[in-house]
Amino acid sequence: MLGFKRGGHDRAEFEALIAPWLDGLYASALRLTRNERNAEDLVQDTVMRAWRFFDRFERGTNFRAWLFKILTNTFINSYRRTSREKSLQDESERQSVEAQFFSPDTTDQATNPEEYLLERVLREDVLKAIDGLPIDFRMVVILADLQEFSYKEIAEVLDIPVGTVMSRLFRGRRALQKALLSAEQASPAAEPIDLNAFRERKKLG
Amino acid sequence: MNCRELQTALTPYLDGELIAEARLDVEAHLAACAACAKRVEVERHNLSLVRALWQGGSPRAPQALRSRVFDAVRADDARRRRQRWVKVSAAAAGLTLVVAVGNHQYRAFQRRLFEQDAALRHARQFPLEIRDPKTTDLEQWFGGKLDHPVTVPRFPNATAAGARLLQVRDKPAAYIRFDAPRPMGLFVYGDDHEVDVGTEPAVSNSNGYNVVSWRNGDLVYQLVTDLDEQDIRELLPPSHPVAHPADQGTPTLDVRPASLQR
């Protein structure tokens, strides 16, 4: 009626779009902030920013990616500054990411021969290992392995090249497995989990 | 593809991010290399396990958080609407003011045009159609010649020299000329409040004349004279001061029909 071409500020439309993603935002915020209270604040800030900028969201494009871009930016801008997060950007990405990724000196692999994770690993162990990842790796791992975004989407969300996504994911997962393997060795007895049941659920879903 | 190349392709391969051609390359290598096949299997297993543990039992956003978030959006939406409304009302108020000022200016401009026209026509000294009439005769003489009845105010110290029909701009008017004590012309015309003249006589200057204008219902009176304001005051009874346009004064001129005056 008023000739909005691109956006608009329709609250009902916004609420309908965002409602399905609140759980995902919260679960991701928990791993970003590692603290329930901050996670709730982060989600609320994210939703308010998304609402304020809703007229800039181009209808028909990837709303979930747009939302997670706001989530990660909000986190980087406000939470990371206050929490003592250390960025990898300075240390390991000073040189080209590609150069590292394809480096012949692949110390990670050399010193960590692949090993099966035992199926009795606990969820708490996984979360603890994720929380121990440096933030740049953690963000990529959250987006890829919790939210199951594609590389292209992650590149868009974090505003980094796809090659960087791949490299961080590779290194992040490696560090994660390393942490889990050493946790396994430290506490040998735990409840087994039924991986096959999960796979069946995934297939059905 | 060799084992080292496979290593770099492993992550995108497991994530299904390789294009078909690259994927086939990987699979060809895996079919031929047991070590890499084993490594892929381990990686796939570990990745599935981590994802399963992480995603399974992921906490949902607490209900309190949901309510808080939607309440905040609602409140912000309401605030935006109020602001928008305030903006619209402010714009409307501004527009109203512009229109009001514009209208006021326009009406003042129109009144000036009528004053000027009256002054110019009086200055032309058109021949009179009736001479030395009594005031009551005048009203009779104009009767039927115009769309409106003409009531002629009586000026105690002035006598009419004569009268005729004239116009003030597009309005047919009765014109009465007085010669004593000084030449003056009085225009009387019907006007449905198009000309911005109030019931209070008001003096303005036009083409070297003073023009005194007032209204009685749908009749507008314009007296054109070279008397100054002081003389006009003396001409009119002292109890009836002449107001400036902006002044709030008491009624000044007795504009009842002559037959009803004194």
Model confidence over A8-22: pLDDT tens digits? 678 999 999 999 999
Model confidence over B93-117: pLDDT tens digits? 999 999 998 888 888 888 999 999 9
- A19-32: average pLDDT: 96
Closest-CA residue in chain B for A50? B73
C-alpha to C-alpha distance for B53 and A122, rounded to whole angstroms: 7
What pLDDT, on the 0 to 100 scale, is given for residue B255? 52
- A98-116: average pLDDT: 50
What residues in B contact A27, CB-CB < 8 Å? 58-59
Tokens describing residue B92: 């409307």
Top-confidence residue, A63 or B200: A63
- A35-51: average pLDDT: 95
Res. A102: pLDDT tops 50: no
Res. B4: pLDDT tops 80: yes
What pLDDT, on the 0 to 100 scale, is given for residue A87? 52
Res. A51: pLDDT tops 50: yes
pLDDT band at A202 (very low <50, low <70, confident <90, very high): low
Q: Which of A15, A45, A16, A40 is nearest to A28 (CA)?
A: A40
Whole-number Cα distances in Å, B227 to A28, B112, B120, B163: 92, 19, 16, 20
Interface of A with B in 131-150 (CB under 8 A): 144-146, 150
Closest approach of chain A CAs to the CA of B34, in angstroms? 14
Q: Does A47 touch chain B (CB under 8 A)?
A: yes
What pLDDT, on the 0 to 100 scale, is given for residue B233? 73
Contact B48 A198 (CB under 8 A): yes
C-alpha to C-alpha distance for B147 and B130, rounded to whole angstroms: 19
What pLDDT, on the 0 to 100 scale, is given for residue A81? 61
Q: Collapse the DSSP code of A51 into the 3-class scheme (helix H, G, I; strand E, B; otherwise coil) and give the result.
A: helix
Smallest Cβ distance to B61: which of A9, A43, A102?
A: A43
Contact A195 B56 (CB under 8 A): no
A-B interface: how many C-beta pairs under 8 angstroms?
A: 114
- B85-95: average pLDDT: 90
Closest approach of chain B CAs to the CA of A113, in angstroms? 9
Contact A48 B61 (CB under 8 A): no
C-alpha to C-alpha distance for B107 and B114, rounded to whole angstroms: 11
- SS3 per residue for chain B: CCHHHHHHHHHHHHCCCCCHHHHHHHHHHHHHCHHHHHHHHHHHHHHHHHHHHHHCCCCCCCHHHHHHHHHHHHHHHHHHHHHHHHHHHHHHHHHHHHHHHHHHHHHHHHHHHHHHHHHHHHHCCCCCCEECCCHHHHHHHHCCCCCCCCCCCCCCCCEEEEEEEEEECCEEEEEEEEEECCCEEEEEEECCCCCCCCCCCEEEEECCEEEEEEEECCEEEEEEECCCHHHHHHHCCCCCCCECCCCCCCCCCCCCCHHHCC
What pLDDT, on the 0 to 100 scale, is given for residue B140? 84
Q: pTM to 2 decimals?
A: 0.60
**At what angle are helices A36-52 and A11-18 packed, to 10 degrees?**
140
What pLDDT, on the 0 to 100 scale, is given for residue B237? 54
Name the DSSP class of A132.
Answer: T
Smallest Cβ distance to B49: which of A14, A114, A119?
A: A119
- A147-165: average pLDDT: 95
Res. B42: pLDDT tops 50: yes
pLDDT band at A104 (very low <50, low <70, confident <90, very high): very low
The residues with which B53 forms a beta bridge, in sequence order, are none
What pLDDT, on the 0 to 100 scale, is given for residue B251? 44
Res. A130: pLDDT tops 70: yes
Closest approach of chain B CAs to the CA of A175, in angstroms? 12
Res. B57: pLDDT tops 70: yes
- B38-59: average pLDDT: 91
C-alpha to C-alpha distance for A29 and B64, rounded to whole angstroms: 16
What residues in B contact A145, CB-CB < 8 Å? 47, 50-51, 54
Res. A103: pLDDT tops 80: no
Whether residue B214 contacts residue B201, with contact meaning beta carbons closer than 8 Å, is answered with yes
Contact A114 B43 (CB under 8 A): yes
Contact A52 B76 (CB under 8 A): yes
Question: Letter for the amino acid at B260?
Answer: L
Average predicted confidence (pLDDT) for chain B: 85
Smallest Cβ distance to A22: which of B12, B57, B61?
A: B61
pLDDT band at A122 (very low <50, low <70, confident <90, very high): confident
Res. B225: pLDDT tops 70: yes
Q: Is the peptide bond before B181 cis (omega within 30 degrees of 0)?
A: yes
Q: Other CB atoms closer than 10 Å to residue A5's CB: what's the count?
A: 7
Res. A55: pLDDT tops 50: yes
What percentage of residues in chain B have a pLDDT greater than 90?
44
What residues in A contact B61, CB-CB < 8 Å? 22-23, 25-26, 43
Closest-CA residue in chain A for B57? A123
* Max mean pLDDT range (A126-130, B155-159, B244-248): A126-130
Closest-CA residue in chain B for A19? B66
Q: Which of B212, B164, B222 is nearest to B191 (CA)?
A: B222
Instruction: Tell me which of A74, A166, A196 to substitute to probe the interface with B (most B C-beta atoms closer than 10 Å).
Output: A166
Res. B221: pLDDT tops 60: yes
Res. B24: pLDDT tops 80: yes
Res. B23: pLDDT tops 80: yes
- A112-129: average pLDDT: 80
Q: Which of A167, A174, A169, A170 is nearest to A97 (CA)?
A: A167
Model confidence over B116-171: pLDDT tens digits? 999 999 998 899 988 888 777 888 888 888 888 888 887 777 788 899 999 999 99
Q: Does A27 touch chain B (CB under 8 A)?
A: yes
